[in-house]
Amino acid sequence: MRRLLFAVPFLFACAKAETPPADSAAMAAAPAAMTDADIAGTWTGTATMEGTDSVFAHWTQVCGSGSCRGTSTESPKDTAVSTYVIAADSSVGTSQPMAEATMGGAMVVDHWVVRASGGQVTGNGWFTLAAKPDSVVMRYRISGTKSP
């Protein structure tokens, strides 16, 4: 019992109450929050299948106020309508169900997450079957440029 009583004051005497300095470099590197002005406008770019360099779509999106209307040169008669929300430094979008020609006309929903900066956009997307929202039938990468 005496050893225990001796050890307790020793532990408190040796404990340091210092607070480590904040990592100011990490805080300075945090990207600025995105606004609708960052997304609003006309964008053009490509979508590339994940894991390959195969471009499957050359697209144009006209976005603003939480919605986008997109077309692809691969299927010019189709217009994809999406809604998006801004979450910190990203925009997260979901399309209405649509028939996808590159997938045999299957009804799919397009999901995407992008970051826009300096008139450039990059991100990732995935298609799910409209009837099976937990399925993923294809993943892809997005890159594009905002028209002036």
| Residues 94-144: tens digit of each pLDDT | 999 999 887 888 999 999 999 999 999 999 999 999 999 999 999 999 999
What number of other Cβ atoms are within 10 A of residue 108's Cβ? 23
Characterize the bridge pairing of strands 75-87 and 90-95: antiparallel
pLDDT band at 29 (very low <50, low <70, confident <90, very high): low
Note the pLDDT of residue 140: 97
Dihedral in degrees, nearest 10, Cα atoms 99, 101, 102, 106: 40
Segment 15-31 mean pLDDT: 60
Note the pLDDT of residue 96: 97
Q: Is the pLDDT of residue 35 over 80?
A: yes
- Cα(112)–Cα(70) distance, integer angstroms: 13
Note the pLDDT of residue 24: 58
Q: What is the amino acid identity at position 114?
A: V
Note the pLDDT of residue 27: 57
pLDDT band at 9 (very low <50, low <70, confident <90, very high): very low
- Fold held by 36-146: Lipocalin (2.40.128)
Segment 11-27 mean pLDDT: 55
